[in-house]
Amino acid sequence: MKGTKEKGITLIALVITIVVLIILAGVSMSLVIGENGLFNKAKSGAEQYQMEAIKEKLESEILTLSMEKVAKGENLTVAEVLLKLQSEGICIDIDIENKKCIYGNYTVEFSDENGNVSVKDIQEGKNVEVKTKREFKQIETGENHSLAIDTDGNLWIWGYNSVGQLGDGTAENRTEPVQVTIDSKPDAKFTQIAAGSHHSLAIDTEGNLWAWGYNSDGQLGDGTKEDKNKPIQVTIESKPNAKFTQIAAGRSHSLAVDTEGNLWAWGSNDAGRLGNGTTVQQTKPVQITGIQGSIKQIEAGFHSLALDEDGNLWGWGHNFYGELGNGTTENNVLTPQKITVKSNESIKFSKIAAGMTCTFAIDTDGNLWATGQNQNGQIGNEATEQKNELVQITVPSNPNIKFETVESNTMHTIVLDKNGDLWSCGLNEYGQLGDGTNIQRLTLVPVTIPANPSIKFTQIAVGREHSMALDTENHLWTWGWNTVGQLGNGTTVDVWRPSPIY
């Protein structure tokens, strides 16, 4: 009996030793991930720990998104999860079709069985098919719809479509870009686009002007007040063969410059935004005079702006919030008036932008100026009080930064600096500032892409609560509110950082 007991003790000790060695060696034969996924080869303890950490991180993100969708009475999809993970820089590349993404040096596969998104498998290596990104040369945004011209001159549009503002012949919202063509000229290519709150404008390569969407105030310029869900041509009665070089669209009015440099306006004339000396609505283009010199740029919100070739800024129309920068809030400015920096009226400008009720201008030295409504901090001067004169806007952490262009809409603003970096300020409820939060900002903060911080940009566009930008390789990035598909990523989930459009 004694000998048998000693042998038993020896056997137990051997087993314990083997177990300890296994633990020390850190060997695990398999690891189950989710309900269906597993690792089918031995993994070290460190690798196992890393994969468990990845799983925990991703499932936390899924849970957050799922709760947001449940609150809306909707189901979460893998596509939404992948886009969110990419925009947050958690996943470098995504493959929506095969439900995969790259996380560090691992490939993560997702499942959406029974309507529940979960992590299905995690494997070493980067096994993801990355789609080729579309290439665009111009972008624009309306209130909740978006437009872009690709590098071949084709016009694409997506988002809200309640009154035909997408121009595709329907009233259906689109969560991905759809091509818009002219029925009478299906091969037409385009050079310029503009978007009002709910209507759209475009100029083709022959200089013809087209309009579609909401038309309650005659903003389509066809002599009617009937909405149009396909492009119709806009002509001038006294010059039916006129061609156009520039366009702008405001809340419910439109502006255009013809090849001879004449300025035309039509649509709502509330507060004199058409600039023809009256407040009478116009359903066809009327000529605007009073601006000295050739027109370089036009912009529109509830008011209208023009920049002449000599660098002078002109404004007219709505001024309830001081957006015309004349030192007052006197409304109904019926004809173009010069807007200057009161402390130095010799300053000239190179770029301008109209928010719905605020005005921005970049001077020839790259300094940014703003005036108008500011209740959400959208002019970026560290306050929420409106301004009725142009004030200089800087980045607090680096006041020497110079700017290239600026865009604004209703409650937030995006600015592009000379180095190709983006800055934003204003309301941020849906992540439209692109800083990864939903925190309102009263000063300019950087817009970043954690997965690729070296990306530089060349163009920007700002909707009511979403934003877009083109990078130096002509790829489009969008972020912010997405309830009607205005981001163009195939989903209706909000995105808090720039996400690429394929």
Where in the sequence of the chain do the CATH 2.130.10.30 domains occur? Answer: 136-500
User: Which amino acid, one-letter code, is at 324?
Assistant: L
The per-residue pLDDT for range 370-423, each reduced to its tens digit, is: 999 999 999 999 999 999 999 999 999 999 999 999 999 999 999 999 999 999
Residue 17: is its pLDDT beyond 80? no
Confidence of residue 164 (pLDDT cuts 50, 70, 90): very high
The per-residue pLDDT for range 178-224, each reduced to its tens digit, is: 999 999 999 999 999 999 999 999 999 999 999 999 999 999 999 99
- Per-position DSSP letters for 131-176, written without gaps between them: PPPP-EEEEEE-SSEEEEEETTS-EEEEE--TTSTT-SSS---EEE
State residue 127's pLDDT score.
87
Residue 25: is its pLDDT beyond 60? no
Residue 300: is its pLDDT beyond 90? yes
State residue 80's pLDDT score.
85
Q: Can you tell me the mean pLDDT for 117-140? A: 90
| DSSP element (H, E) containing 63 | helix 45-71
Parallel, antiparallel, or unpaired for β 333-339 and 349-354? Answer: unpaired
State residue 397's pLDDT score.
93
State residue 3's pLDDT score.
45
Kindly report the average pLDDT of the chain as a whole number: 90
Q: Which pairs count as long-range contacts for 453-459, CB under 8 Å and 24+ apart, including other chains?
A: 456/419, 456/420, 456/421, 457/416, 457/420, 457/421, 457/422, 458/416, 458/420, 459/138, 459/139, 459/405, 459/416
Q: Which pairs count as long-range contacts for 60-65, CB under 8 Å and 24+ apart, including other chains?
A: 61/85, 61/88, 61/90, 62/117, 62/118, 62/119, 65/117, 65/493
Residue 169: is its pLDDT beyond 50? yes
State residue 415's pLDDT score.
98
Residue 340: is its pLDDT beyond 60? yes
State residue 43's pLDDT score.
54
Say which residue the tokens 């719905």 belong to: 356
Any idea which of 3-17, 120-134, 197-211, 349-363 has the lowest mean pLDDT? 3-17
Sheet with 94-95, edge to edge strand ranges: 94-95, 100-103, 106-111, 118-124
Using a cut of 0.95, tell me whether the model's pTM lies above it: no
- Residue 63: both structure tokens together: 């849970």
Inter-residue contact 352 to 338 (CB < 8 Å)? no
Residue 15: is its pLDDT beyond 70? no
From 3.20.20.100, 2.130.10.30, 1.10.940.10, 2.40.30.30, which CATH number describes the 136-500 domain?
2.130.10.30
Closest CA to 167 of 139, 195, 131: 195
Say which residue the tokens 């969560």 belong to: 175
State residue 156's pLDDT score.
98
Q: Biggest alpha carbon distance in the chain?
A: 120
State residue 37's pLDDT score.
41
Sign of CA dihedral 427, 429, 433, 439: positive
Percent of the chain with pLDDT over 70: 91
- Rounded Cα distance, 320 and 235, in Å: 32
Sheet with 313-317, edge to edge strand ranges: 295-300, 303-308, 313-317, 333-339
